[in-house]
A = this chain, B = another copy of it.
């Protein structure tokens, strides 16, 4: 394993254990087994390494959630939403590290245009993919309005759920409670 990869892994570890702001270059060196000066050689600066690490984590979390849902065989959006929430629910504990790192990314994105742009692109992709998954069509065939509506709402769910889990996991609602809560918000009779 190259030092470059070691450094990325170490930076991720520090990100989860100490956060973006409190991680020092020496912390990363210690966590990765690599040497302090290698950060500069491979990434130019410590900040650049940290930014690469947070974005990597966000991307992996996106892949994880996508993989978990795309296996669903449910047919209509409501049932697909149920599958999404269940797989989200199941993944929260085991992906906790990625989630913590992702929150760091969102916080840092407010002050770093590079992170923000990357994150924005990821959100747009994520929305499109979520909409496609829920509607059970190909991502490139989703109606733009569905991306903005359905996709956005699904994305909001996921991020809100994650934040709630990270801060107060004991009060997290069950999937059934969540869906029942949604029902109240929508006029029961459509036409």
Contact = CB atoms under 8 A, between A and B. Distances in A.
Contact of A110 (B100, B119, B123, B135): B100
A160 B164 contact: no
A106 interface: yes
B177 A149 contact: yes
Given A149-B181, A152-B178, 14 more contacts: A76-B187, A103-B107, A109-B167, A119-B167, A123-B167, A134-B184, A145-B180, A148-B181, A149-B182, A150-B180, A152-B173, A152-B177, A156-B164, A182-B182
Interface of A: 18-22, 76-78, 81, 100, 103-104, 106-111, 116, 119-120, 123-124, 127, 134-135, 145-146, 148-161, 163-164, 166-168, 171-174, 177-191
A52 B111 CA distance: 21
Contacts of A154: 181, 185
Nearest to A18: B111
A119 B163 CA distance: 11
A109 to B, nearest CB: 6
A73 to B, nearest CB: 18
A111 B22 contact: yes
A16 to B, nearest CB: 8
A115 to B, nearest CB: 9
Contact of A149 (B145, B156, B163, B184): B184
A71 to B, nearest CB: 19
Given A123-B164, A123-B167, A189 B189 contact: yes
